[in-house]
Structure 1
Amino acid sequence: MQFVTNLRGGISYLWIAVVFALLLSGLSTALSQGSSPAPSPRFSTAEARMHYNKATVLGEKAEWGGAVLELNRALQNEPNHPELLIELGIALGELEEWDQAIRILKKAVELAPDSVRAHYNLGVTLDRFNPGKKPGTSEYQKALKLNPEDVGSLINLAANLGDQNSDEARKLLERALAIDPKNPRAHFNLALLLKNSGDGSGAVEELHKAIGLDPEPLEPRRHLVSLLVSEQRWDETVVQCQEILKRKSTDWSARYTLGQSLIRRSKVAEGRKELEKSQEIRQSQEKKEEVEKIVHQGVDALTQGKVEEGIKQFTSALKMDQSSSQAHMYLGVALAAAGRPDQGIEELKKAIELDPSSPRAHHNLGTVLMQTGRMDLARQELEKALRLDPYFPETHNNLGLILSRDNQAPQGIEHFRLASDLNPHYLEALFNLGLALRSIHQIDAAIQAFRRAAEAAPDNPEVHYALSMTLKDKGDLKGAKEAMDRATTLQQQSGAKPHSRR
C-alpha cells in the first residue's frame, strides 16, 4: 500500500509503505555453518573499520539487523571491500533476506574470485534458500580448488553429493575428519551416510560422537532415536527422548516415542500419560500449521493486489483459530487496503493484544493510523515498533514522515537516514531523505540522497525531477537540465503527465 502526503518546503511526493511480514519457520539443514575463520580485514578508512567492529560485536550477539546497518555504513566508505560484502551477505542470510544476501555474496565473489570464504558463504546461502536443488555445490567445489582443506566446504559438498554419490561423499567427510576430528557436523553427516547404507551400528557410533561434541542440536538425537528404536534399545531411547524434550518440550514425535518406550519398559501409566500429551501437542501443531498455510495464501493474494481474496483467507484462518495474532494483523492490513481502515485498526489492535511484542503489528497499526490522519497515535505505535525492533527500515521511514510533517525535519532526517542505511536500495527512504534535506536547505546532502535514489531506481521520473529541482537550487543549471530531460523522457515513455517546471 502506498500513500502520499506533503512535506513543508519540499516537493510534494512522500512515500509510505505498509509491510507484509509473514514469519515462516526456519530451515533445518545438515549443512556446516562455519568455514575457515574470518581473517582480520584491512581497511583504507578508520570509519569503515569502526563500523565493521561494531557489526562484529552485534553479530556475536545475533543482532543481525544492527550488523546490517553497520556493515552498510562501512560500505559507504569502502563500497568494494570483499570482506565487508561477505559479512553483509552472512547477516542478510541470517535475516532470511535471500535475494539481497545472494546478490551481495555474488558481488563479493566477483571482486575476490580467490576468496574461499566468499565461495563458501555463497554456497551456504544458495543451499539455505533452495535446499532441494542443492545449488551451492559448485561454490563448495570452487572453494576446495582454492583450499582443499576447507572443512566447511568438504562437509557441505559431501551433504549435497550424498544422495548421488555416497562413496565420494564419504571420502570427503573422512578428509574433513582427518583435518578436524572433533567436528560434530562431519560426524553427523557421516552418520547419515552410514544409516542410509544400512550400517546402523556405525551410524549410532558416529551420532554419539556428534552429540558428545555438541549436545544441543536436535537432529542428531532424532536420528539416534530412530536407530535405537529399530534395535529395541528402550532404555537408551528413553534417555535420548528426554534430552530432546528438555530442549524442545513441544516435540510431539519425541514425546510419542518416549511414551511407547516407557510402555515397553512396563511403565504403562507413565507411558500412556506421555502418549496423551503427544496427541494434544500434535493436534495443536497441525491446527497451527493449517492456519499458517491459510495466512500465507492470504498474504500471497494481498501482495498480488487481490485484496478481497486476502480478506477471505484471513477470515477463514480466524474461524479456525481466533488466537492467531498473525491472522488478525494481516486481516487488519487487508481491510485498510480495501478502504475500511477503522475495521482494520480494530483487527490490528486484536493482534497486539494477542502478541504485544510484535514489532510488525505495531508498525502496521501505526501506518494505518497515519492513513486516517491520527498522527499522534501513529507516532506512538511506530515508536513502540522501534523499541521492539530498532532495525526495521520501513518503520524508520514512516516515523520520519510524521516528524517531518510536525516541523521536526532534523529528527525526521535521522530516521530517513537510518532507513536508507539499513537498506541502501530503499527508494522511498532515499527520496524522503532528499526532500527533507532540501526543506532545510542542505542542498549538497539532498543532491547526494537523490543521486542514490536515482541509482536505486534509474527509470523513476519523480526521482530525476526532484534531482533536477535540487540541482537548480544549487545553481547547477546544466545538471538540472540533464535531470529534467531524463525525467521528461521517462514520463513520456510511461504516458504520465509531465511536471510543470519550477
Structure 2
Amino acid sequence: MKVMIETRKTRICRQWGLCFALLTILSLASETRPQGNARVNDFLPPPRANLLPLHWPDLTKLEPEVREQLANLQAGLAATTKNPNTKGAVLGQAYGTMGENYQAYSLNAAARECYLNATRLAPQDFRWVYLLGKLDQQEDMTEDAIRRYRSSGALQPEYLAVPVNLGNIYLQLNRLEEAKENFKRALVIDKNCAAALYGLGQVALSQKNYDEAIDDLEAALALAPGANRIHYALAMAYRNLGDVKNATVHLAQQGTVGVRVNDPLLDSLQELIKGERIHLIRGKLALESRRYTEAIDEFRRAIMANRESLPAHINLGAALLQTGDPKGAAANFEQALRIDPENTNAHYNLAILLANDNKHETAIPHLHYILSLDPKDASARSFLAGELLKAGQLDEALVEFSRIAETDPNNEEALLNQVKLLQQKHGYRQALDRLKKAHEQYPQKGQTALMLAYLLAASPQYDLRDGAIGSG
C-alpha cells in the first residue's frame, strides 16, 4: 500500500506495504496577516520614499524560542529604520538579514518585502538578488526567477548554483538549448558538478540523444552515488536504446534522492533556524537518504522541542516502521491524531498498520473518515474496498468497487472485483454487461477478456452462455 506523505500543500504519495514518508517539511509558520482594520504596528513604515512597507508576519504559531528570536530582530530593524543617520548600506544589510531569517522559517511574503528593500538600497549586493530569485523559483514565478538569476550571475559569475538553477528552470520549461547552455556553463565553473551533469543528461534524454544521455548520467551517478533518482533517467535512456538488461538494473535502483548543487548562501539559512524546524529538516534529509536511525533521532529531537509537532510524529512513525518497530510507529500516528483528529495522513498510516496486522475491521473506520473529508480520494477508496472485502463485508465492498469502476473505467482490478462480487450475489447478467462494456472500451486488457470469455462459455445462468463467442 502507499503511505501518506506530509507536504505544505497536499498529500501526494502513498505506497502499499511499509510506510516510507519522503516529506517536505510542513510549514511551521503562518504567513497570514492580521485581519480587520490595519493598525500602526501591523507593518513597518518605509523609512525612505523608494522603499516598501514591511508587513509583520504572524508569529503567534511559532515556538516561543523562535518567536523571541524574530521579535528581537524585528525590533532591531525598526530601530535602524527610525535612525535618520543610518547609511543606505547599513539599512540594506538590516533588511537583508531580516529577510534571511524570515526565509529560514518559510515566512516568504515578509522575506520578499525585505529583499526588495535590500536590493533597492544595495543593488550590487549579490545576496539579496539571488535569494529573491530563490523565492521566485520556489513559488513558480519562473520569468522573475530567470531575470533575477541572470542579474545575480552578472554580479557573481563564479557562483555555481546560478547556472544550475537557470538550467533546471529552462529544463522545466522545455527550453532545452538554454538549459544545455547553462549546465555547460556550470561545468566550466566546476567540472565535477553532478547536478550539472544530471541536467545535461536530462536534456539529452529529452532530445533523444540516448548515448549522450547515458554518458552524462553515468558521470553524475559516479560523482553522487547516493542520488538514486538518476537511475530512473538512466533506465529510460537504456530502454530507448533497446538495452533491456541495463534498463531493468537501473529501474530496480531508482529512488527519490535527487542531485543538489552546492549552494552555500541558501544553506547558510539553516544556521539561523532554532527549535523544532532544524531537526525536521535534518530528519527529512536522513529519511530521504534511508539513514533511518539518524532520522529517528532528529524527529525525536523535534518532538522534544515541540511535543505538539504533527510532522515530527507522523514522520517518526514512518522512520520507525523502516526499522521494524510497528508499535512505535502506531503510537506516533495515534499521537498525531490526538494533536489533530482530522489529519488524514495519520488516519491512512494507521489503517496501513492495522491492515498489515490483519485487523481489517479496525482499519475501515479510518478510511471511512478520510473519504468523509474527501470523497474523491481514489487511493483511500481503493484501500477501503480491499479492506471491506477482506473483512467479509461483501455488500459494502461491492458498493465501493462499483464506485471505483464507474469513476475510473480503466481500473481493471476494481472491475474484476466488482464482477466477482456480482457473481457471488447471482447478478450474472449485470456482471456480464459490465465486462462487455469494459471490453469494448479497453480491448487490450487481458484479464477482462479472459473473464468475459469464461462467463460467455460457462455462466451459471445458461441463457447467458455463448459458446461460440466464448471459445472464439
TM-score (norm 1): 0.43
Higher helix share: 1
